[in-house]
Structure 1
Amino acid sequence: MKIRSKLAWTYIILLIIGIITISAYSILTIRSYLLEEGAEQFERDALSLALAAGSFKDNAQFDDRIQRQAQLSRYEMAVYDNDGVRFLTFPQYAFEDVSRYLESTLIDRLEQQEGRPIIINNENTEKLIAYVELTNSDNAAHYLRISQDKSQYYAAVASIRHIIYAGMFFSIGAVIIVSFLFARYMATPIQQLNEAALDIAQGNLDRQIDLNRNDEFGTLADSLNHMASTLRADNEKLKRLNEKQSQFFADITHEVRNPLHTISGSLEMLELPNLPAEKKKQYMVTARKQIKRVARLFEDIKTLQRYDFDENFINREIFNLKELVKEVEAAHQPMAEKKGLKLKLAKLSNCNVNADPNKIEQVLDNLVSNAIKYTPEGSVEVGFKKKEGLVEVYVEDTGPGIGEEHLDRLFDRFYRTDKARSRDKGGTGLGLSVVKGILNAHQSEIKVESEEGKGSRFFFQLPVVG
């Protein structure tokens, strides 16, 4: 059974039970009220009839007057003498099953009432009965009995019952209609949400739910829309990540294939007979150089992998940045001199920082070696400047500069501004990516300022300690 039907029948059954209960209670309450009101009126009428009957003279017209009074009041009447013997009734058939004599206990009770009537209103009897003593009677009548069927009092209840029943059936009909409409109103958004959820599950992340409701369904619709939007964004990220991963593996394959081809070619040349010693040495140097290049490539990949997955990628400690910069400058001075470049060290002062010295040394090593590789003439300067609790470390060169179109992707893995020339210089294409990963792990950022023909400046910041 669908939820719409379940909701509808649940409301219908509950409301019908409520309507029937209220209607039955109303009928019983009205019935009881009318009987109580009738009993009070019956008691008053009994007193009035007793006063009238006691005032009649004891003559030939006495019977006629009692009968006329019974006709006018529409009560059944019986008159008893001083000994409790009935001597007059109207109508006669109403007293066929009634004893002709009053019980002594009833007479005693009437005498104790001192003129007030005794009302007999038992649930097992169909009549309302009153006995009253006629005090100071002018005739032979000493006790009066009046009675009336209770159905007389329930006549109004019958009419009211019909009205209540009509209203009840009308209400039930209205309840059925309203329940189905309400169930439809409640079930429709559920169906829409279900259809939308199925669409989203099947990959339709552009699905939007427009319920225009301020209740829980509207909140759920907004949540599903937000979920779809989040999934859509995540899906786009996964697509981009997959594209980068595919490109990454393609680049690795390409980067490894070239030096392997060179190594293979060198080994083939070394197998040639009668190869001059000078040529053998040249091919050995070439093969060794390409092997180092492959080793560097995988070392960089290992570093990047640790940055991606290792929470303990960096081990911070406090060290003097000045000493580290001097060590990097000294290590690269021979390479700079060999190329005819001037590797300058800025005026430095002692500066303690909290970072991983090995990783920061690797960053500077990559930046300085890149600057030397891509600067054909001029100079390379390395140094740092303190700025408001931070120290800015920089590497600046007088090389050809970098075009603006390359700056956004400069730190992407395997991205090169000039692929052919970069490979000729033995680069892996991962140096700047490694720099970015290390500095990101330090909650820092590598930045570059460059203009074609005017050199480049790479810099980053670290917090100063003390």
Structure 2
Amino acid sequence: MRFFYQKMIAFIIVILVIILTMGTTLIRFSREQVYLRQQDELSQMAEYLVGQDITFDYLKQIQPILDSANMKVYYYNEDNERQYPAFLDDKQQEMPLSSSEKQQLKSGQRLSLRPYDMGFQKDKLDSMSIFIPLERPNNQQYAGYLVLGAPAYMTNEALDELNRSVFRAILISLAVAGFLAWLLAYYQNRSIKRLGDATKEIANGNYDVQLRLKTGDEFDDLSQNFNQMAEALKVSQKEINRQETLRHQLMMDVAHEMRTPLTTMLGMLKGMKDHVFPQEKWDRSITLVYKETERLKRLVNESLDYEKIRANEIKLAKAVFPVQDVVNDIAMQLQQEADKKHTTITVSCPEQATVYADPDRFRQIVVNIVKNAVQFTDKGDIQLTVEETADDTAIRVKDTGMGMTAEQIENIWQRFYKVDTSRKAMAYGESGLGLSIVKQVMNRHHGEVTVNSELGVGSEFILTFPKQEALEEDKGAKTED
């Protein structure tokens, strides 16, 4: 609430300063206007008098006219001696002019409106008067001056009423300003409180909170930014939860993949130690332990390889090389494994076909894809086809195996993912890292992997490697941009 009162006081202070400034200016302007009007009225009467022959009798004769206008006139000759009226009231005092004022009158200049004692009331300086120099009609020489005045109380009453009106206006304005300041401060404080409450919800883990946009002001802009932040935090939290689930699943997968060979090796070694196996089966047991050790080694190497590729810690030695011999060697290498599943691997590759890639990583990619096809194909065919265009080289591996669903296609690039989720069934591969490595290495080659598959019919993996020229042109275009 402290901010609420600070804003309210600030509003009131600003409005008070504005009102006081305007009120002071208004009073000063109005005072000047009142004095100016008073001076104009006296000046009009003075113009009438100046055109006459000023004598004691004449002034006495027009005194009723002056009385009706609530004015008085004093007449002083050139020696500054009062000629009219002849006598002053007992409480009236002569107010001699200064030398400079006398000189100003002698030079024919009038003295502007000023306080003067003319006996309207008992107070001293009871009138506002002007001083008009007189000239002799025959020779235009200085002949004295007239003091023409009106009661000061009338001017003072007008000014007092003006001051009272302005003061009332200031009080009313302050009251209205205070109410408006309260409304504005309350509105802003309510908007800030909404943001504060929403922030607490975010701190408590509720990322679904959203602030309504109402007026389109800066608070709504802030609310919109807050909503975007909450949505981003919500997405981030979902990603964190997903990553935590993947981490948990990864730990379970790694533990399982390592536990299976370790359990086999431990069982074999314990049987040999306890002489459970006859001597003639020791060679077979040692061979099995060796295979399981190799399997563990592959698992560790593939895991390290995957992390290095993902962390961009490997360097590719890309070059243009003929691809026919490589794919023929891979087909020959894996045909023995395919024969165990009564599957045939056929190769179709133009003799002059080339690919721009790291030779070792290229072989690793194709071996993983063909091996994957062998694992999921029984009594079928695997076609390894190479197609070359001006922009890229495509390696197609098509099998007649078990095929996949759309959901399975989305997940095959994840580490340790298996189409057959049964952990007891090892017929469809071991660690599940092969395709994950393929995806990462293809990304490093700026290549593309696409999969077409139909459950129960088979799958086709298409590896597209861009030509060196195409990559350089694309890099040049990005540099120009």
Please classify the TM superposition score into its range, dividing by the shorter chain length: 0.7 to 0.9
Q: Percent identity?
A: 24
TM score, norm. by length of structure 1? 0.85
Are 2:457 and 1:461 aligned?
A: no
| Secondary structure class of the residue paired with 2:9 | helix
C-alpha spacing 1:55/1:286, structure 2 compared with 1 (3 Å): same
Please give the per-residue CA displacement for 1:319-372, whole angstroms capped at 9, x wherever unaligned.
Answer: 333333233223334444566543322132323333332222111111222333
Are 2:428 and 1:432 aligned?
A: no
- Does the 8 A contact of 1:400 with 1:454 survive in 2? yes
- Superposition map of 1:22-171 within 5 A: 22-51=22-51, 54=54, 65=61, 67-80=63-76, 85-89=81-85, 92-93=88-89, 96-98=92-94, 113=108, 118-119=110-111, 121-122=113-114, 126=125, 127-133=128-134, 135=136, 143=144, 145-148=146-149, 149-171=151-173
- Does the 8 A contact of 1:85 with 1:102 survive in 2? no
| Secondary structure class of the residue paired with 1:381 | strand
Could you tell me which residue of structure 1 aligns to residue 476 of structure 2?
A: none
C-alpha spacing 1:238/1:83, structure 2 compared with 1 (3 Å): closer
Distance 1:454 1:82 in 2: 134
Distance 1:21 1:47 in 2: 38
Q: CA RMSD in A?
A: 3.4
- Among 244, 253, 256, the residue aligned to 2:255: 253
Q: Flag the structure with more relative contact order, 1 or 2, with Cα contacts below 8 A and sequence separation at least 6.
A: 1
C-alpha spacing 1:190/1:44, structure 2 compared with 1 (3 Å): same
Could you tell me which residue of structure 1 aligns to residue 478 of structure 2?
A: none
- Superposition map of 1:217-366 within 5 A: 217-273=219-275, 276-310=278-312, 312=314, 314-337=316-339, 341-366=343-368
Instruction: Give, as a single letter, the amino acid of the residue that structure 2 aligns with 1:459.
Output: I
Could you tell me which residue of structure 2 aligns to residue 9 of structure 1?
A: 9
- Superposition map of 1:365-404 within 5 A: 365-387=367-389, 389-402=391-404
Distance 2:70 2:327 in 1: 127
Please give the per-residue CA displacement for 1:51-91, whole angstroms capped at 9, x wherever unaligned.
Answer: 456388x6xxx685254344234333334568664344177
Show structure 1 runs of 4+ deviating over 6 A. Answer: 101-109
Q: What stretches of structure 1 of length at least 5 have no aligned partner?
A: none
Post-superposition shift, 1:234? 1.4
| Secondary structure class of the residue paired with 1:456 | strand
- Superposition map of 1:395-414 within 5 A: 395-402=397-404, 406-414=408-416
Q: What stretches of structure 2 of length at least 5 have no aligned partner?
A: 118-124, 470-481
Distance 1:240 1:192 in 2: 31
Are 2:447 and 1:444 aligned?
A: yes
Instruction: Give, as a single letter, the amino acid of the residue that structure 2 aligns with 1:72.
Output: S
Distance 1:434 1:216 in 2: 50
Post-superposition shift, 1:147? 3.8
Post-superposition shift, 1:16? 0.6
| Secondary structure class of the residue paired with 1:354 | strand
C-alpha spacing 1:373/1:434, structure 2 compared with 1 (3 Å): same
Distance 2:284 2:165 in 1: 117
Distance 1:292 1:170 in 2: 94
- Does the 8 A contact of 2:257 with 2:430 survive in 1? no
Post-superposition shift, 1:107? 7.9
Equivalences, count: 454
C-alpha spacing 1:136/1:324, structure 2 compared with 1 (3 Å): same
Post-superposition shift, 1:249? 0.6
Post-superposition shift, 1:170? 1.1
C-alpha spacing 1:185/1:277, structure 2 compared with 1 (3 Å): same
TM score, norm. by length of structure 2? 0.82
C-alpha spacing 1:314/1:201, structure 2 compared with 1 (3 Å): farther
Post-superposition shift, 1:286? 0.9
The worse-fitting range, judged by mean Cα deviation, of 160-169 and 451-460 is 451-460
Distance 1:107 1:265 in 2: 135
Distance 1:304 1:268 in 2: 34
Distance 2:62 2:145 in 1: 11
Distance 2:223 2:25 in 1: 44
- Does the 8 A contact of 2:403 with 2:453 survive in 1? yes
The worse-fitting range, judged by mean Cα deviation, of 366-375 and 202-211 is 366-375
Post-superposition shift, 1:47? 3.6
Distance 1:427 1:273 in 2: 30
